[in-house]
Structure 1
Amino acid sequence: MNPKVRNLSTEVLSDNWYILRKVTFEWQKKNGEWQKQSREAYDRGNGATILLYNNTSKTVILTRQFRIPTYVNGNESGMLIEACAGLLDKDNPEDCIKRETEEETGYHINQVHKVFEAYMSPGSVTEILYFFVAEYTKDQKVTEGGGVTDEEDIDVLELDFSKAMKMAQNGEIKDGKTIMLLQYAQINQLIKYN
């Protein structure tokens, strides 16, 4: 444990959907002084995300769905284009992303490659997101996708990789995890152009 943190206490503010806690603690500053601070931390569990890519067709699979937080923050339609993702629940990251890939996109993927993990909003959310990539082929499409719960209403998009990159640059794709995966694919030349 960090010796610069003491007198840590938590209070549950809400457990309606996930858990929102108020965390009060003392932090030892660089000058040695102890300062009392309070922060709210939203715990929704950890998650995984994946970019499916096809080097032959030069395409990627993304999803589009309604996201209420974006809607209340100025996204007029509330629709967001994203890489497939989901919460781990009790799975390990690899099993989770394979399950989510099939549920959301309809593709059955056997091999995934973990590329990194990151805190996406560490000022207020506890979630660590595990990032994966996987190559897909047309014959791996086993269902229409779109999600499995009544609340999920997901469109599956197969986009030319260069178009997806332009969409990230011009603001049509605003989802951080998706932009990170697209940039990873570009930097590592997952899609090879002759």
Structure 2
Amino acid sequence: MTEHVTTSPAPAPAPGSRGAPARPAPGTPGIDLPDPRGRTGLDRHGRDLTGNERVRVLDVEVLACDWSVLRRTTFDYRHSDGHWSREQRETYDRGDGATILLYDPHRRTVLLTRQFRLPAYVNGHPDGMLLEAAAGLLDGDDPREAIRREAAEETGRAVHDVEHVFDAFMSPGSVTERLSFFAAPYDASAPGADTAGVAAEGEDIAVVELPFTEALGLVRTGAIADAKTIMLLQWAALDGPFAPPAVSPR
């Protein structure tokens, strides 16, 4: 939902000014004191954006910072008809991530995970146990390095030659995360695991191998309801390892 603070034309800020932000109280975690992850200056993020002349960022407030950061940004926006309005948006910054579809082109199978997802559970999923492609946050690593790490942690499989498929913003109305999508074959003859995950992080992950056609069927029935997994499975069917052979023009 869009929150309109005012719809009157907004005056242009003085040269070199971004408006008069409200000053946080001294000794605020994430601002001038380290937050639980040792970060400071979190209210500076997004203040110096200049790529869109229709947007003037006036203020960035940190509403919460623990593992992720919740910010409220106040900005002036020039609409297509020329009038300005003052807007506020809340953004949830959890960092960028990566996901991967592991597949066996010879046996025509894919390797997925099943784990408990509290947000899905509280929003109507029957048990919160989602079938997903392996994924995780970058945590400062290169996306390729991060997804190799996550594939090993979540499926017990080591992957090397990963293919970058595309990048996507998963929920651009409120979440800043950009997800890098990858795919890679896995060796079904290599030792695997039925369960995986990092116990210290509370992960309890079941490794699930499915025929590719069955996985697509679970998308149709809603049994696979995770967006990144649906996107990767559809890519695999249209352009990836399970795409139909190209038909030569007559």
**TM-score normalised per structure 1:** 0.95
Spell out the pairing of 1:29-40 with structure 2 (5 A cutoff). 29-40=79-90
Percent identity, please: 50
State the Cα deviation string for residues 125-176 of structure 1 (Å, max 9, x = none).
0000000000111244465551123300011000000000000111000000
Within 1, Cα distance between the matches of 2:241 and 2:57? 48
Counterpart in the other structure of 2:186: 136
* Separation in structure 2 between the aligned mates of residue 69 and residue 178 of structure 1, nearest angstrom: 17
Counterpart in 2 of 1:179?
230
Any residues of structure 2 matched to 1:41-60 within 5 Å, and which? 41-60=91-110
Cα separation, 1, equivalents of 2:180 and 2:244? 28
Q: State the partner residue of 1:155.
A: 206
Instruction: Between the two structures, name the one with larger relative contact order (CA 8 Å, sep ≥ 6).
Output: 1
Verify: 1:125 aligned to 2:175, yes or no: yes
Question: Aligned Cα RMSD in Å?
Answer: 1.6
Question: CA offset at residue 191 of structure 1?
Answer: 2.6
Name the CA distance, whole Å, in 2 between partners of 1:149 and 1:8: 43
- List gaps (5 residues or longer) in structure 1: none
Superposed CA offset, 1:26-56 (max 9, x none)? 1110111111000100000000000000011
Q: Distance in 2 between matches of 1:145 and 1:4?
A: 50
Q: TM-score, normalization: structure 2?
A: 0.74
Q: Distance in 1 between matches of 2:243 and 2:190?
A: 21
The AA in structure 2 aligned to 1:46 is: D
Show CA shifts across 1:33-85 (max 9, x none): 11100010000000000000001111000000000000110112111110000
Which residue pairs with 1:85 in the alignment?
135
Structure 1 residues 116 and 193, CA, compared in 2 at 3 Å: closer, same or farther? closer
Distance 1:117 1:193, change over 3 A: closer
Counterpart contact for 1:53–1:191, Cα < 8 Å: no
Give the secondary-structure state (helix, strand or coil) at the position aligned to 2:106.
coil
Corresponding residue number in structure 1 for 2:28: none
> Paired residue for 2:220, among 145, 166, 169?
169
Q: Distance in 2 between matches of 1:164 and 1:23?
A: 40
- CA distance in 2: counterparts of 1:61 and 1:71, whole angstroms: 23
What letter is aligned with 1:179? I
What residue number does 2:30 align with? none
Q: Quick one: distance in 1 between partners of 2:210 and 2:61?
A: 45
Do the aligned partners of 1:48 and 1:85 also contact (CA within 8 Å) in 2?
A: yes
| Aligned length, in residue pairs | 194
Instruction: Give the deviation of 1:188 after TM superposition.
Output: 1.6
* Amino acid paired to 2:94: R
Question: Structure 2 vs 1, CA of residues 11 and 57 (structure 1 numbering), >3 Å: closer, same or farther?
Answer: same
Instruction: Assess if the C-alpha contact under 8 Å between 2:237 and 2:243 holds in 1.
Output: no
For structure 2, the 5+ residue unaligned runs are: 1-50, 246-250
